[in-house]
Amino acid sequence: MTSAPLAARLSVPSGPLFFPVTAYGPDGAVDLDTYRTHVRRGVEAGAAAVFACCGTGEFHALAPEEFEACVAAAVEATEGRVPVVAGAGYGTALAIQYARAAERAGADGLLAMPPYLVVAAQEGLLRHYTQLAEATSLDIIVYQRDNAVFTPETVIALARHPKVLGLKDGLGDLDLMQRIVSAVRTEVPEEFLYFNGLPTAELTGLAYRGIGITLYSSAVFCFAPTIAQAFHKALTTGDDATANRLLDGFYRPLVELRNQGRGYAVSLVKAGVRLGGLDVGEVRPPLQEPREDHVKQLAELVQRGHELLEGAAG
């Protein structure tokens, strides 16, 4: 059983799911004014939901009080127009603290990220996410990646929990995901949502659509919302010609550039936001900034992406 309000708002989005970067000022402190501007612009550009302080938002780098302030700022900036889902992670006790902070800040739900460091058995993972789900009134989306990889049986158990509304996949094992989708569909009558959570998820969007997963996180939306919107429309309407044109001319080269540096799934995105005229600051350690020539290549790619859209329109 899912929570109708949040699940319904996420299930058929009108645009990409927006994972904003977290803005820092020249002194390295969180810049809430710039962050509100970033979130507000994303909503005005057509974001279907705001996922605040998650991976792209450097959840790992935020102190608890910064996290709560950022989630509250995202809630303020969205003005109720779209749901706000906040990250929650680390061990169970800390994840619960972050979840309660998100609840105080007015979030609509939680993205439950993997536990810190440990590699746990399925029983332990199930206990962790169950306790997190029961710690607040917020519904949760469980994020599969790294040290949190689930069997279909565990996902069935999670899907049966009234507070767990979906699974975000950052692993990329389509065989496993197909078995999970099939098992849950067979054993759980209520709707359960799935999200493609791979970095630059558009690259694998057509493959995930093939197993029925059309929801995805879009980091590109942070810095090139027009391109991200065009791809989202193509993917959801079956316009594969446009989708493939953007994949060949923009997304595949972007992924190849992203793979040139560790942490570029965050730092390159943040550089892209700065290229667009909004100074969101640099990434915090242990991440590092992308090389200057890579930022230049990113600017050229964004220009190429817009040219592809203009060519199609012409």
* Residues belonging to the active site: 143, 168
Q: Which two tokens stand for residue 299?
A: 């600017």
Beta strands in the chain (DSSP E): 17-18, 49-52, 84-88, 109-112, 139-144, 164-169, 193-196, 215-218
Cα distance between residue 31 and residue 183, in whole Å? 44
Degrees, nearest 5: CA angle 196-137-166: 20
Degrees, nearest 5: CA angle 131-13-274: 90
Chain-centre distance for alpha carbon 262: 18
- CB count in 10 Å sphere of residue 29: 11
Phi, psi values for residue 25, rounded to 5°:
-85, 180
3-state SS class at 22: coil
Exposed (0-12), middle (13-18) or buried (19+): which is 302, by Cβ within 10 Å? buried
3-state SS class at 268: helix
Those residues whose C-beta lies under 8 Å from the C-beta of residue 296, and which sit 6 or more positions away, are none
Which of 1, 75, 2 has the alpha carbon at shortest distance from 43? 75
Cα distance between residue 101 and residue 244, in whole Å? 41
